[in-house]
């Protein structure tokens, strides 16, 4: 079955880069996602990467995918206090009629120290 694992906590200083890592087990995953959740709030889609890509960059965010090792990472450059949140890695499995069922990791709580 699917399983997505992430480290639970990460603490960085403001201005430094943050790297959040994730491993997954389902080799048939088509897309891999990063969602951000602030306290008491919903899940904000940050970015996603197609499984046949190895890198995607979007402003301060860089996603790296090593499909052979089933390893996904999210790098946040110039981390700000507003980046403090829980970051969820998720893999998708294509379902019926083009729907995608997501399996989430436990989430990594990023704390940014001013």
Partner 1 sequence: AAGVIQSPRHLIKEKRETATLKCYPIPRHDTVYWYQQGPGQDPQFLISFYEKMQSDKGSIPDRFSAQQFSDYHSELNMSSLELGDSALYFCASSLSGQNSNTIYFGEGSWLTVV
Binding site for partner 1 (CB under 8 A): 30-31, 33, 35, 41-45, 48, 50, 88, 92, 95-107
Residue 46's closest CA among 73, 68, 69, 67? 73
> Smaller CB distance to partner 1: residue 14 or 21?
21
98 or 114, CB closer to partner 1? 98
User: Minimum Å distance from CB 72 to partner 1?
Assistant: 15
For partner 1, the closer CB: 96 or 114 = 96
Cβ neighbors of 21 (< 8 A, separation 6 or more) are: 6, 7, 71, 72, 73
Residue 76 C-beta: closest distance to partner 1, Å: 20
- List of residues 6+ apart from 113 with CB closer than 8 A: 11, 12, 13, 14
Residue closer to partner 1, measured from CB, 31 or 64: 31
Say which residues have a Cβ less than 8 Å from residue 51's Cβ, sequence separation at least 6. Answer: 29, 30, 31, 32, 65, 67
What minimum distance in Å lies between the beta carbon of 114 and partner 1? 25
Q: Which residue has the tokens 């700000």?
A: 80
Smallest distance, partner 1 to C-beta of residue 24, A: 13
């Amino acid at each position: 079955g699917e399983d997505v694992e992430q480290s639970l906590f990460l603490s960085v200083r403001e201005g430094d880069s943050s790297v959040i890592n994730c491993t997954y087990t389902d080799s048939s995953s088509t897309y891999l996602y990063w969602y951000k959740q602030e306290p008491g709030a919903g899940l904000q889609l940050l970015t996603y990467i197609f499984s046949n890509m190895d890198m995607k960059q979007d402003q301060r965010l860089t996603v790296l995918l090593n499909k052979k090792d089933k390893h996904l990472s999210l790098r946040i450059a110039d981390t700000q206090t507003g980046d403090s949140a829980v970051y969820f890695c998720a893999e998708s499995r294509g379902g019926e009629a083009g729907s995608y069922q997501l399996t989430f990791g436990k989430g990594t709580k990023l704390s940014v120290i001013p």
